[in-house]
Structure 1
Amino acid sequence: MCGRLSQYHGIHDFVAVLSIPDALINHVGDAPLARYNAAPTTTLAVLHQHEQRIYADNLRWGWRPHWAKDRAAPINARVEKVAHGPFFRAIWRQRLIVPIDNWFEWVDTQDKSRQPWLIRRADHGPVFCAAIGQFPTPGTDPRDDDGFVIITADSAGGMLDIHDRRPVVLCAELAREWLDPATPVERAEQMLLFEGEAAETFEWHKVDKAVGNARNQGAGLIAEVV
């Protein structure tokens, strides 16, 4: 996963697919999010659960533990290591869903340029990315080092021609289970390793190279080009 995504629908559009009625504490607003070209360190809308309520909050994309200040904050965590390595130990139990519309990948071409591709669900529904992070619980104040990482898996099995890594995407039912604090960590790891959406769930197309500049925004960036 190259680290660029779109999040342009409104938060209610994403939550509606999760079928969690009357349970949202919304801190991101009701308007469309309109983030067509979100880059690392961008503040994105995320979903997390506290007790029986779902919270929508804005959170920075990227996180590192306090003892790793000498390195850049990663934006992704490899599913093979996230549950057992020391780097993400402090946030492994703090699960999030990052609801997005699509993400972008870049592929080298024969003329040595790089062609961006958009990847989305074939049914054009929300993409629920499994993530973990550090975020304020109700009644606590945000911290300067709050943030999140998206969990990625090997793309083998149909998407290797686009990129060798992709986010772990969960169906709506599994996304609800992932968010639930009562879900055991062993079960959470099983979902990541074996139950993410398969490659045939997705479709992809070429987009304009203007998406390479994170300052560029707008619906034109997600349109297919020949």
Structure 2
Amino acid sequence: MCGRLSQYRGIHDFVAALNIPNALINYAGDQPFELYNAAPSAQLALFHQEGQFLRADMVRWGWRPDWATDCAVPIKARVERVAHNLFFRAIWPHRAISAIDNWFEWVDEGGPKKQPYLIRRKDRAPILCAAIGQYPNAEHKPEEHDGFVFISAGQGGMVDAQDWQPVTLNPELAREWLNPATPKERAEQIMLFQREPTEAFEWFKIDRPMGNVQNQGAHLITPIAGSDEDA
């Protein structure tokens, strides 16, 4: 994931994909998000479980502890280190799911510019990405230091020029990941060993000009004519 993704469906489409019967506390709105070209620092829909309820908020993509002012704001945490990394210690217990529609990779194919690819599920269902963060809840009102990071893995086998991709979970495991009663040790096992396989995804070339994040629209996720899907 080269720092760009799409989250264009609405919150209720993502809730349906999670298949959680709990009542929804919705602070994300009911309209489609229509984010086809979201970059770090964007406000993205994020799910977490609050008691018996599923809660959705718009939370900034990217987080760092307030003492780490001399480094860039991370957007991801590597799966093999996050559970025991002092940098993420404060948010490791705060598990969440960011449901997205696709993400992008840029690949050096020998031309003057890198070629962008779009990666999505073969069945076109939302992609349920494991995340951790600092986000609003009943005791914590939204504040400027809120944010989240994706759990990432260098799984390989896709268009993974950057050697990492989000840890994605099937709905059953996503629900277990969200459940506050799931022990931290079990959560670590889920993200390390039970993420979705490469075979669940397809990828294809898209047009080059994505550019500024103000450039939005469905044309950004359309395959180039002649591009082979599921490359």
Q: Could you say which TM-score interval applies, normalised by the shorter chain?
A: over 0.9
User: Taking structure 1 as reference, are residues 88 and 139 closer, same or farther at Cα in structure 2, changes over 3 Å only?
Assistant: closer
TM-score by length of 1: 0.96
- Could you tell me how far 1:163 is from its partner in structure 2? 4.2
- Could you tell me how far 1:213 is from its partner in structure 2? 2.8
- Could you tell me how far 1:24 is from its partner in structure 2? 0.7
| Counterpart-to-counterpart distance in 2, 1:136 and 1:163 | 31
- Could you tell me how far 1:139 is from its partner in structure 2? 4.0
TM-score by length of 2: 0.94
Query: Is the Cα contact below 8 Å between 1:83 and 1:92 reproduced in 2?
Result: yes
| Counterpart-to-counterpart distance in 2, 1:101 and 1:195 | 20
2:154: which partner in 1? 154
2:21 maps to a residue whose letter is: P
Query: What residue ranges of structure 2 are gaps of 5+ in the alignment?
Result: 226-231
Query: Is the Cα contact below 8 Å between 2:105 and 2:160 reproduced in 1?
Result: no
- Could you tell me how far 1:41 is from its partner in structure 2? 0.3
1:55: which partner in 2? 55
Query: Is the Cα contact below 8 Å between 1:48 and 1:55 reproduced in 2?
Result: yes
1:204: which partner in 2? 203
1:16 correspondence with 2:32: no
Query: Is the Cα contact below 8 Å between 1:3 and 1:39 reproduced in 2?
Result: yes
- Could you tell me how far 1:143 is from its partner in structure 2? 1.7
Matches within 5 A, 1:32-181: 32-156=32-156, 158-159=157-158, 162-181=161-180
State the superposition RMSD in angstroms.
1.2
2:202 maps to a residue whose letter is: E
Query: Is the Cα contact below 8 Å between 2:159 and 2:203 reproduced in 1?
Result: no
Query: What residue ranges of structure 1 are gaps of 5+ in the alignment?
Result: none
Query: Is the Cα contact below 8 Å between 2:57 and 2:136 reproduced in 1?
Result: no
- Could you tell me how far 1:90 is from its partner in structure 2? 0.4
Query: Is the Cα contact below 8 Å between 1:116 and 1:212 reproduced in 2?
Result: no
1:192 maps to a residue whose letter is: M
User: Taking structure 1 as reference, are residues 22 and 131 closer, same or farther at Cα in structure 2, changes over 3 Å only?
Assistant: closer
2:224: which partner in 1? 225
1:195: which partner in 2? 194
- Could you tell me how far 1:154 is from its partner in structure 2? 1.0
Count, aligned residues? 225
Corresponding residue SS for 1:70: coil
- Could you tell me how far 1:155 is from its partner in structure 2? 2.5
- Could you tell me how far 1:116 is from its partner in structure 2? 0.6
